[in-house]
Amino acid sequence: MRKRTFLKNLLALGATASPGVNSFGQLLTRFEHIPPAQLASNEDFWAEIRAGYRLKPDYINLENGFYCFVPQETLENLIGHVREVNYQGSWYMRNERKGNKAATTARLAELGGCSPEEVVITRNATESLDLIITGIHWKEGDEAVMAEQDYGAMLNQFKLAAKRYGVVNKVVSVPNLPQSDEEIVELYAAAITPRTRLLMVSHMINITGQILPVRKICDMAHSKGVQVLVDGAHAFAHFQFNLPDLNCDYYGSSLHKWLSTPLGAGLLYVKKGNAEHVWPLLAEGERDPNDIHRLNHIGTYPAYTDLAISDAIDYHHAIGGKRKEERLRYLQTYWTSQVRDIPGVIVNTPEDPARHCGIGNVGIEGLKPADFAKILMEKYKIFTVAIDGSNVHGCRVSPNLYTTLEELDVLVKACTELAKA
């Protein structure tokens, strides 16, 4: 099967064209002279991006943090791939699948700025991260460091490692509004002892959208002989960075979040030379101990996803990573800057642009997050998710590229009215 390109498909299907624009390619050409930071507030451009999505009219979707459902173009491509793989059947699985998967992996590696030998496609961040957490060659009494604001599934996997291998977990708590990078680095450094083997850190904390100074944390941990696993479920293809620049040992992400692939796609990065330190989850035949594919035996899987990842990469490149980052940050600051100083409103996301991007979290004094989320949905028709734990009490707000300022105005109105009530 030959991979069709995003723009070619758009022209063929006319899928995302909106009134006055014949193709997505023309749209991008029309706006290409505008720098990303300026384009972030160009509602004409983003309205045309919005037209490429099929949106449910029932509510304003500010809960993309779970799954950034795909634009129509990627969806149509996926359906085409399902048809083609089904048509070719075992022939595809025996003769085409491996090459296509390798090609997609190489494109993912390019997006992450690393070597294809350091990346494998997984089914989600949970698979990527839990594989490392369980796979480290633990000895009883070894210690691991993590934060209570990390994702529950990974914290549970560390608890399992404690039961299974006698790992001792040291859990820190990251402040919602830190004053400096050093404050955070120190927090993690203080939890490290001579027995620490692994430190896990979220690149972006999922419940608040706070970006952590991962490079500094990795440098500090390495200076103490500790390896670092980064949970990048919300960072990859959300804001721009190169994986090697983080200086981490392992990195896991879900691609169905900010890369907007169909459900069931993830990435695992293992820095060269580290694969031999990890047991696979499912056994692979004999390979070089440092071959990352030793960690990636998953049996038969929905192979058309590999092809749809490539379509999502096309979409990502067509829009442009920097444009996407700037727009997502613009949307978040658009609403948080209007409510941050209102008495009774608590914004749990830092104001410093280096510490945030598209995700924000807001609470209302005296209102339980679950009740806040219910009122947002029932009275204002806004879909968010309530967070009530780990020192975070509020609703997580995660817009996407199709979100309009008018939709965020409804959120601002809701926060303003509820803070006064």
Ligand X SMILES: Cc1ncc(COP(=O)(O)O)c(C=O)c1O
Nearest Cα residue to 149 out of 191, 94, 208: 208
When binding is defined by CB under 6 A, the residue of 81, 97, 170, 234 that contacts ligand X is 234
* Residue 170 vs 257, nearer CB to ligand X: 257
Give the shortest CB-202-to-ligand X separation in angstroms.
5
The answer to whether residue 124 forms part of the interface with ligand X (CB under 6 A) is: yes
The answer to whether residue 305 forms part of the interface with ligand X (CB under 6 A) is: no
Max CA separation in the chain (angstroms): 66
* Residue 146 vs 419, nearer CB to ligand X: 146
Q: Report the alpha-carbon distance of residue 414 to residue 64 in Å, rounded.
A: 19
279 burial level (CB within 10 Å; 0-12, 13-18, 19+): middle
Give the shortest CB-305-to-ligand X separation in angstroms.
13
The answer to whether residue 251 forms part of the interface with ligand X (CB under 6 A) is: no
Give the shortest CB-162-to-ligand X separation in angstroms.
19
The answer to whether residue 130 forms part of the interface with ligand X (CB under 6 A) is: no
Which residues 148-207 are close enough to bind ligand X by CB under 6 A? 151, 153, 202, 206
Give the shortest CB-174-to-ligand X separation in angstroms.
12
The answer to whether residue 356 forms part of the interface with ligand X (CB under 6 A) is: no
Give the shortest CB-66-to-ligand X separation in angstroms.
6
Which whole-number Å values give the CA distances from 136 to 72, 79, 214, 249, 295, in the listed order?
40, 38, 21, 12, 12
* Residue 357 vs 367, nearer CB to ligand X: 357
Stretches 5-13, 15-23, 210-218, 226-234: which one binds ligand X (CB under 6 A)? 226-234
Which whole-number Å values give the CA distances from 411 to 65, 202, 220, in the listed order?
17, 27, 40
Strands 382-383 and 60-61 come out as parallel
The answer to whether residue 121 forms part of the interface with ligand X (CB under 6 A) is: no
Tokens of 365: 């004094």
Q: Report the alpha-carbon distance of residue 245 to residue 224 in Å, rounded.
A: 19
Q: Report the alpha-carbon distance of residue 51 to residue 17 in Å, rounded.
A: 7
**Residue 205, Cα to own-chain centre: how many angstroms?**
10
Give the shortest CB-26-to-ligand X separation in angstroms.
35
Compute how many residues bind ligand X; rule: CB under 6 A. 11
When binding is defined by CB under 6 A, the residue of 76, 143, 231, 325 that contacts ligand X is 231
The answer to whether residue 254 forms part of the interface with ligand X (CB under 6 A) is: yes
Phi, psi of 231 (to 5 degrees): -90, 100
Stretches 29-37, 118-126, 172-180, 396-404: which one binds ligand X (CB under 6 A)? 118-126
State the angle between helix axes of 304-319 and 6-13 in degrees (0 to 180), rounded to the nearest 10. Answer: 90
Binding site for ligand X (CB under 6 A): 124-126, 151, 153, 202, 206, 231, 233-234, 254
